[in-house]
A = this chain, B = another copy of it.
Amino acid sequence: MTHWIAVDWGTTALRITRMDGIRPVDTRQNDKGMNALSHDDFERVFIDLAGDWIDGPTDVLACGMVGARQGWAEAAYRTVPCAAAGGELTHAPTKDPRLNVSIVPGVRQLKPHPDVMRGEETQIAGILARQPDFDGVACLPGTHTKWAHLSAGEIVSFRTVMTGELFADLTGRSVLRHSLAGDGWDEEAFVAAVSDALSRPEILTARLFELRAADLLHGQDAATGRAILSGLLIGAELAATKPWWLGRDAIITGSSKTTHAYATALKSQGLSPTLLPADEMTLAGLAALRDA
């Protein structure tokens, strides 16, 4: 049986890929992430989406929040420093006897600060499958961006920053939403704000309300406001994660839009990051895990 299904099941989305060995054949996705589901929903939601792909005994290998306590089945954490790929898979119970579902363990850090990841370890396994000798930092932008120091095939340490969630909250629900509507962008304002936040990180929370005042008093463009907000948050993130990226090679693995912003920010600090697409890295990671 060379066919199997690779599953990336996160907080807000489910993405499944029919695999033939290490080769992706077809991909489907929906917005039924862990946040939208209760414990008993996972099998039904999976079968609804996979549909005709399940034509007999089917291996399924899943990573992400599907392994959280509120997920399909709680998967263990491995503790850094540890290999990017490895550890025992957790078997998820199913009513449908054709399904053989395994969930990848997450990775945790106990010192110097507590931290956890579920899903990103698989992207990192994909990065290291592609570049086994990489030594440097992997930046995985998202709702909760991860910065991981990789060396000798291992995740040495990592740091999570909630930049994506903060940006979504501030643009979507805070008083700033009135001044930051739309999808516009202002690259110059973004780069200046990154630099501001990096050189004066203590000013971050005070700068936020300025975006509202600049609109009310000067009619500041929403595109400029959005770019400044993004730049301030990413600049603050770079200030917090400097021990991870300073003087190291960098790989950024994310969606195209966030990857662009992080690449621009790191380039403004003299780095030359390599960009690798997140979906591909997840599949490469799952394929490497299945192969092992």
Contact = CB atoms under 8 A, between A and B. Distances in A.
A115 B209 contact: yes
B162 A217 contact: no
* Most chain B beta-carbon neighbours within 10 Å: one of A160, A175, A209, A210: A209
A144 B209 contact: yes
A175 B213 contact: no
Contacts of A207: 240
A104 to B, nearest CB: 17
Given A114-B214, A115-B210, A240 B165 contact: no
Interface in A238-275: 239-242
- SS of A interface (majority): helix
B205 A114 contact: no
A95 interface: no
Given A205-B237, A205-B240, 16 more contacts: A108-B213, A108-B216, A113-B213, A114-B210, A114-B217, A115-B210, A116-B216, A143-B175, A160-B210, A161-B205, A169-B169, A173-B173, A202-B242, A203-B240, A204-B205, A206-B237
Interface of A: 11, 77, 108-110, 113-116, 143-144, 159-163, 165-166, 169, 173-175, 201-210, 212-214, 216-218, 233, 236-237, 239-242
19 contacts: A11-B175, A108-B217, A110-B217, A114-B210, A114-B214, A114-B217, A114-B218, A115-B213, A116-B216, A144-B175, A160-B206, A161-B205, A165-B175, A201-B204, A203-B240, A205-B233, A205-B236, A205-B237, A207-B240
